Structure 1
C-alpha cells in the first residue's frame, strides 16, 4: 500500500477521492443530457437531494410507508432508484465492477434472506483517513458501538440512537505534535470478570491509543507502534491469549511489520518482519495460526507465536486488504484489489475451495458470522452475505455511499454498516431475518426467475419507496 501516492497521483487521504452521492446526482443530471448510455434524469418537485435530508433515525416502519433505507425520497427527487443504480455503475466504474445487466442475471442465484433492514441513523457518520482502509467501526454489543470521525472515536447505542459520546478525543495527542488521524480500530468485549472490554485504535503516523470500555474515567493510553516514516497502522486485530485468555492486539503497519501487544500491560511482546507491507491479519480460534494479506499477491499462513511463514498462497492477482478466520477454524476468507474473494480450507491449502467476484468494487472487509455465513463489504454501495463456505446463494444489500466499516453483533445476529457518504451517510443496522433461509425477494415482493429487466423496473415503480431492503 502506497503511503503517499498511488497510480492516480492522488494522496491516499486526498479529499477528492470522496465521491459524494449528491455530487454523483448532479453529475448524472448533467451528463444524461448528452450521454445516451445513461438513463434519463427525471426531475421531481425537489431540486436537490441535499434538501430535506432526515435528521432523525429511519426505521423499518418509515421505509414501508414513505422513504427508503437512507431517508431518500425518490418520489420527490424524480428518477427511479433503479435508474440511479444503473447510472452509478456507469459514472462510478471500478476495475472489479460488473454491468447492471450482469448483476441482474446473478440475482437468480440469490435465494437467501439473512438480514432485514432495522434502522438508519444519519447523525452518526464515520470518516476514513485512507481510502483503502475501511475498518473504523467496531462494536462489542448493540449498546456499545464505536466509529471514528478523524481524530475522535464516538460511542453510540442502537437501542438509544440519540446517544453520541466521545470515547476518545485524540485531536491533541499526548504522543505527537501532529494530529492523530484514526486509520483503524478494534473493539474487544469483556471476556471475564478479570478481562474488561478494550478499544484499540491506530493512527496515520504509527500511533496507537487504548482505553478500557468499562472504565468510568475514560482514561486513554497513547503511544507509538512504530516511529518509521512509512509506519501507518493499517489494521488492528484483537484476540484472546491462547493460554491466559487476556486481550492481545496484532498491529499491522506499512513498515512491513506485525507487532503483538499484551493489552492490559500495554507491552509489545513480539514483532515479525515480512517482505511487504501487511494490510490485514486474523488469528485462528485456537491461537496457533495467523493469516496475513498485504501489498503482494501472496497470502501468508504463519505461526501465530513465532511469526514464521508456514504456507504461501498465490491465487490473488493484486494486493490484499481483508482476511478472516471462521469461528470453527476450518475456513479462511481473503479479499484483494483484483475484485476477488477467496475461501480456503485450512485442512488443504492446495487451492481455494471457493472463488467469488465483486459486484461493483473490490472488497475491503470479510467477516464470518458464528453460524458460518460470510459477510463481504465492498468499497462502496454493496454488502453481500454468502450462506457459507460453499456460497451457492447469497443476499446482496445495497445502498449508496462509501463503506467505512462493518461490525457484527452477537456473532452476526445483527449487522452494522458505517456509511461515510457526506450526504446520505450514517449507521445502517440489519437484524438476522426471522424468516431465515426463505425465498429471495426484492422491494418486498417475490420475483419470478423468468422476469425481464423491464418487469423488474415495473415492480420497482410500483413499490418505489420501499427501495431495496433486500437487494
Structure 2
C-alpha cells in the first residue's frame, strides 16, 4: 500500500468492487478484500485499546440509505493539530470548501479543480509568550455572513470576510493568554438583535468566550469548573449546550453563561461533541466512552435515547440543516466511520466506513451533501456524500388516548435503554403514543371518526379511512413543508429539492 498510486479523484462511476473503492485502493492487487481489511482493522482497534467497546456490543442497525458516495479528491488533506479536536472542515457551498492545513486555511471545490490559500498564518508574529506557529485546532464558517474564523493551540484566533478582496489580511488576536488556552471548538451564531454575528469559543482554560465578529472584540467570558470542549447555541440564541472534561452536559443561558440545567449523567467519560437541531428541540451530546445521547429541550430529566458509536468515539456531531430533506444526524467518529443517524426515531442509521482519521465533517448549507476530511497521509482526501432523496414522509401511528383519535405525532419521544444494555425503559411517547421502537403492540381499540369529517364528502371518507388504519404520513423535515418557501435558511427551491438525488446535472444535452 505504501508504494501504490492513487488517482487525483475517485467518482461514483469508477467504483469497481475490490479493484477500485471510494478511496482508490486496489484490494485485489493487495491480495485481500476490503471486508477482510475492515475486519482486521476493527479487531486491531479493539485489541490495542483504541476502542472501549468489544466487537460484540450492539450498535444501531446500519440498514438505511440516506446518502450516496459522490467523489473523493485525493490531493487535499486536512492536518490534525490535536488528536481530540476534529472540526477542521467547513463548507459554505459545493464550490467553497475550507479545510485546515496546520497553519493555513485552504479552499477548494467539490471537483477539487481549484485550490487557494484563504489564510496563511504560518509566519505570523505573536506575543513573545507564545510560539510563532499558528496551529489551527478548530474552525467554522457562516455562509449567511460570509465569515471564516479559526482558533489555535495557544489561544489565538484569525477572522476574515470571505467576500473581502484577494490578498486582504485576516484580523488576528488572542482570546486568552492562558498557558492552557487551547481553542477546543468555535462556532458562529447570529445574535438575537440581528446586528452582528457572534463566535463562541470553547477553551481548555475552563472558559467560554463570545467574540463580536464585526469588531473582533470579546463581549463576554463565562468561567466553568472544567475545560470546555464544545458548545452548541440554540437556533433562537437563548440557550447553549456545553460539554467538556466532565460527564454531565450543561444547558446554559446564552447571554450570561449561567448554568440552568445539569443533564443527567449518561456519559462515563469526557464529552467532545454536541449539536443543537434546527427545530430547537433536539440536542445531541457525544463522549469518549463511545456514547451519543439525544435530548429533548422540553424535558431535560432524561435523554430520549442513547446509542454507541461503531468503531471509535464520536468527535463531531452535526444535524442536517432545514431544507436538507429527511432529518438526520452526522456522528463522525475519530477514525474510519461517519454514521448518518435517523433523526426522527434515532434507532437506525447508515454507516459510512473508510480508512483514515476523520478531521471533520461539514454539511453544505442547503443540505444537498456533506464533506468528510479524511486526514490519512496516504489514503486521505476530501470525500463528498450527497443526499439520495428529499422530503420523504413516513408512516407513523396516531396517538390514541381513551380510544379517541388525536393529531398525528410529529415526533415520538421515548427513553430507551442504552443499546446493548438490559432494561425495559419507557416506550410511551408524546401524548400517550407508543414509540416506534416499542415491542408493545398498538392499542386495538377502534378509532373514532369525528362528525365534521362526514360533512366533507370524499375528504371525510379519506379522513375516516386514515383514522381507521390508525396511521398517517408524517413529514420528516425540521419544519413543515408549507413554511419552507418563506424560510431564510432554505437555500433550494421546491423544484430543486424535488430533483435532488436524480443526478440531472450529470446529463449531457
Specify the alignment match of 2:318 in structure 1: 367
- Find 2:150's aligned residue among 201, 219, 224: 201
Mapped to 1, the partners of 2:195 and 2:25 lie a distance apart of: 46
- Find 1:129's aligned residue among 81, 102, 105: 81
Deviates more, 1:427-436 or 1:202-211: 427-436
Specify the alignment match of 1:87 in structure 2: 40
What pairs up with 1:6-405 in 2 under 5 angstroms?
Answer: 49-64=1-16, 66-93=19-46, 94-99=50-55, 102=56, 109-158=61-110, 160-176=111-127, 177-189=131-143, 191=144, 196-217=145-166, 218-313=168-263, 314-370=265-321, 371-405=326-360
Mapped to 2, the partners of 1:111 and 1:86 lie a distance apart of: 18
- Find 2:383's aligned residue among 428, 436, 449: 428
Larger RCO (CA within 8 A; separation ≥ 6) = 1
Mapped to 2, the partners of 1:404 and 1:56 lie a distance apart of: 20
**Aligned-pair CA distance for 1:436:** 8.3
CA contact (8 A) 2:270 2:287 kept: yes
CA contact (8 A) 2:51 2:312 kept: yes
Partner deviation per Cα, 1:263-301 (whole Å, 9 max, x = no partner): 011011111000000000000000100000000112000
Unaligned runs of 5+ in 1: 1-48, 439-471
Mapped to 2, the partners of 1:296 and 1:106 lie a distance apart of: 24
Q: Give the 3 Å change call, closer, same or farther, for CA 141–344 of structure 1 in structure 2.
A: same
CA contact (8 A) 1:250 1:259 kept: yes
CA contact (8 A) 1:326 1:372 kept: no
Give the TM-score normalised by structure 2.
0.72
Give the TM-score normalised by structure 1.
0.78
Mapped to 2, the partners of 1:106 and 1:404 lie a distance apart of: 23
SS in 2 for 1:417: strand
Partner deviation per Cα, 1:315-370 (whole Å, 9 max, x = no partner): 21110100000000011000001110000000000000010101111000111012
**Aligned-pair CA distance for 1:143:** 1.0
CA RMSD across the alignment:
1.8
Unaligned runs of 5+ in 2: 394-509
**Aligned-pair CA distance for 1:435:** 8.6
**Aligned-pair CA distance for 1:54:** 1.5
Mapped to 2, the partners of 1:418 and 1:326 lie a distance apart of: 22
**Aligned-pair CA distance for 1:411:** 4.2
CA contact (8 A) 2:59 2:309 kept: no
Larger CA Rg, structure 1 vs 2: 2
Q: Give the 3 Å change call, closer, same or farther, for CA 259–388 of structure 1 in structure 2.
A: same
**Aligned-pair CA distance for 1:237:** 1.1
